[in-house]
Structure 1
Amino acid sequence: MNQNHDEVGIKTPEYVSLQFQLAGLGSRSAAFIIDQLILMIVNILIIVLLFFILIGQQDFMLWASMNSVSFAIAIILLFILNWGYFFAFEYFSGGRTIGKKVIGIRVIQENGHSITLLSSFIRNFLRIIDSLPVYYFLGLIMIFFHSKHKRIGDLVAGTIVVHERKTKKNKLTAIEKEIEKRGLTKDDVDIDEWALKSFDTKEWNLIKTYTNRFMQLPYDERNQLTIKVAEIMLPKTGIVMSGKNYQNLEDILLVLYLKLKDEWEYEL
């Protein structure tokens, strides 16, 4: 891994060289502030709701009993919410919380791949340490002085935070034109997020190869390829092939390509 100022060069396990711009203290802090504002609003709403529930109790003994129990439950819920927000968004949304999306940064693994479930858990669990002694002081110091702008959570989880790579396209590719012609969107096929996360590099390369060859193959060969690819890809989505014609299977695979493209296209 080579680095030049705020840029980092990565060679993936697939021997593809990628160049990323590291997200520094300013952009990461801005994203964090946005996330904290969102969490603060949600926390206040929960506390206000709990308050109104408690003051609605007429029986003093019942109120006192519920007060202690509700307080304990509220503390647990607020902890889960504030920790789970970062953990869930970073894993299910391609390394991006709402704040990161607004600023245009994301968390990835050091090998250039998407953040894994374990990596997301580790880096966010260690926010407890990064937040010491107060207001993320330790984490801010680490990001400022570390050559790759890593906090402790990033060091242990093997992650980095980078700016989104925006690709400029003047015209649509052949497969994009075909998808547009068919009126397909990512919302046309309902696939569970856990199922999408189960696809790995090999399967992304397969669906990408399929779309690259889609418009070039004669009709019969395309149908044969569609069946072969569908037999490999669809079982993971929970979609049953029986009862579907070639057109149906093509549409499902093209929508699956759109869904996976957001996660993998910028990387490999």
Structure 2
Amino acid sequence: MNDDRINIKTPEYVSLQFQIAGLGSRTAAYIIDQLILMAFNIAIVIIFLIISIGQPDLLFFLDLHSYLIAIIIIGIFFINWGYFFAFEYFSGGTTPGKRMMGIRVIQENGHSITLLSSFIRNLLRIIDSLPAGYFLGIMMIFFHSKHKRIGDLVAGSIVVHERKTNRKNKLSPIEKEIQARGLSKNDLVIDEWALKSINMKDWKLIQTYSNRFLQLPKSEKENLTKQIAGILLPKLGLEMEENIQEVEDKLLIIYLILKDDWEFEL
């Protein structure tokens, strides 16, 4: 099952191949996330005990005690549910556990997981955990051809492996050019919501531009830079500079920023 792969054709007619995450890696990621949540839950209980101890008025303590229990139960539910929902949406389909195991959730069409899909797949954890110990979810992941649990089926999501290229000691030509220009991801501040508007077509556009950047003649490079900047910069809330090198720098920084979330070696 570790060799299971799936070919996805995106709405932009780009063919992608992903390795599906199986039961082992997903279980390990889930255990890591549960250990993190357990620490939060224990901290909440400890805070509750600290507040409860030493109340001078018994009747007041009993009233406070019942309210606190209700608040704690609601709080723990939202923390345990919201943890997966928030991390998966705002961290590009990963949680701390998934990131450690090198897996992430994506849409079945190859795009990043949407707000609605993240909401649905995590709300349905309640069903996947039935009758106990996540039994139904485990059985679904094990037997389903794409290792989907019920939440994935309804949300139209899939969990895949990601393998980022390990090139700590060997930079690609475009990375050397970016380094020579003294550029880094911190040179541009892009709103998180603007980054969410980027799709696979946009990524392929900036990736192709960066890969061809050093091979293009000057005039062709300038024209291509203006065309791509005209598409991507407004989408990311960035202004078009008059100096063509400054525009190039912006596009190369955008490439650096997007590469972490979109570049897979599968």
What TM bracket, shorter-length normalisation? 0.7 to 0.9
Paired residue for 1:263? 261
1:112 equivalent to 2:123? Answer no
Paired residue for 1:34? 32
For structure 2, list consecutive stretches of 5 or more residues without a partner in the other structure: none
What is the correspondence of 1:1-268 to structure 2 with a 5 Å cutoff? 6-55=4-53, 57-167=55-165, 171-217=170-216, 222=221, 225-241=224-240, 245-266=243-264
TM-score relative to the length of structure 2 = 0.85
CA distance in 2 between partners of 1:5 and 1:208 (Å): 27
* C-alpha contact (below 8 Å) 1:113/1:267 kept by paired residues: no
CA deviation string 1:223-265 (max 9, x = no partner): 56545544432334344457x8544443332222112122222
The percent identity for this pair of structures is 67
CA deviation string 1:6-62 (max 9, x = no partner): 222333333333332222211111111111001000111122122212335444444
For structure 1, list consecutive stretches of 5 or more residues without a partner in the other structure: none
CA distance in 1 between partners of 2:108 and 2:224 (Å): 34
- SS across alignment from 1:74: helix
Deviates more, 1:244-253 or 1:255-264: 244-253
Deviates more, 1:67-76 or 1:25-34: 67-76
* C-alpha contact (below 8 Å) 1:87/1:120 kept by paired residues: yes
- Per-residue deviation, 1:126: 0.6
- SS across alignment from 1:23: coil
Aligned residues between the structures: 265
Q: Aligned letter for 1:196?
A: L
RMSD between aligned residues: 2.9
